[in-house]
Chains A and B, each alone.
Chain A
Amino acid sequence: MTPADVVFLFLGAVTLGSAVLVVTTRQLVHAALWLVVTFGALAASYLLLTAEFVAWVQVLIYVGAVVVLLLFGIMLTRAPIGRSEGLDSANRPVAIAVAAATAALLVTVVVAGFREAYVELGDPPAGTSGQMGASIFRTWVLPFEVLSLLLLAALIGAIVLSRREIQPPGESSDERPTERPTGPGRG
């Protein structure tokens, strides 16, 4: 076992432990905070695998943006701050069985397939910013541009979904459309 193996096993244990806490904790806010630990440990794993650029993108987007979005969602759905009951549904035993079967199948296949696979890390590094930038903007530039269009579509979709009903001034905003009186000037 090389030192890299030991460090990676430690990071993997942190990742898995905090992931299990995300799906088992009884407090919604704690789930989001354990998610930060999971994503941070994964970013450290990427650094260990010398995928430097992916690691920092992970920190920026997941820890910086996605978790904040999820915390906003928790806040806006008026979730209780303390412990809340009923976060697990009734099919929890089935879920445990399915997850255990998935884990057994995947681990068996992966271990059988890649038991001998070995890589010497860091010589040369696999993903510095320069290498990744050259790769994205030379080889993968078309999917990159298509992805920017997809982000724009998702942005517009999220705005359309979450905006309030636009109404003329003088009407209260929490009236439902079906209850609204049909006045003149509205087709």
Chain B
Amino acid sequence: MHIVYPAVVAALLFSVGVYGVLARRNAILVLMSVELMLNAVNLNLVAFDVWLGDALRGGQVLTLFVIVIAAAEVGLGLAIVLLVFRNRQTVQIDALRDLADRDAEPAERPEQVSTEIS
């Protein structure tokens, strides 16, 4: 089999994940898109490990490690999302702007706060 097929599929899958991370507002959908990107990397690792015929099977073992780390990441990420939901009653990530670096404009501050709450 040509190795370029899985490589191209992995590249496109990664791009789909990039689009999802940038375009989605719901934090859980962003987590799903991160999973897509990790899976694209896994496909690359497996394909190139098979191509190289590594005797230590480093690519596939690293794939297993990435799967484990992705499971840990999604568990922690969901815990954080649930905590945010419990405190703010929303998981829309562009509504969470408390740490945003904005210029202090005292005249506009009350307006902005009121629009965010509504």
Point out residues on A near B: beta carbons under 8 Å: 2, 4-5, 8-9, 12, 15-16, 19-20, 22-23, 28, 31-32, 35, 38-39, 42, 45-46, 48-51, 53-54, 57-58, 61-62, 65-66, 69-70, 72-74, 76-79, 86-92, 94-96, 98-100, 102-103, 106-107, 110-111, 114-115, 117-119, 121, 126-127, 131-132, 135-136, 139-140, 143-144, 147, 150-151, 154-155, 157-158, 161-162
Contacts and interface: CB of A to CB of B under 8 A. Distances in A.
Contacts, number: 249
A142 B83 CA distance: 34
B81 A73 contact: yes
23 contacts: A5-B5, A12-B5, A23-B17, A23-B29, A32-B32, A46-B43, A57-B67, A62-B39, A66-B70, A89-B24, A98-B19, A106-B15, A110-B7, A114-B7, A118-B2, A119-B50, A121-B50, A127-B49, A127-B50, A136-B61, A147-B65, A150-B69, A157-B76
A95 B23 contact: yes
Contact of B2 (A58, A61, A117): A117
A76 B32 CA distance: 16
For B18, B19, B25, B73, the residue with the greatest tally of chain A CB atoms inside 10 Å of its CB is B19
A140 B58 CA distance: 8
Contacts of B47: 49
A98 B33 CA distance: 15
Interface of B: 1-9, 11-20, 22-26, 28-29, 31-33, 35-36, 39, 42-43, 46-47, 49-51, 53, 56-58, 60-61, 63-65, 67-76, 78-83, 85, 91-94
B1 A119 contact: yes
A99 B16 contact: yes
Contacts of B25: 86-89
Contacts of B85: 76-78
A22 B32 CA distance: 8
Nearest to A160: B79
Contacts of B51: 117, 119
A99 B15 contact: yes
Given A150-B72, A161-B82, 10 more contacts: A20-B16, A22-B20, A45-B6, A79-B26, A95-B18, A127-B46, A127-B50, A135-B57, A139-B56, A155-B72
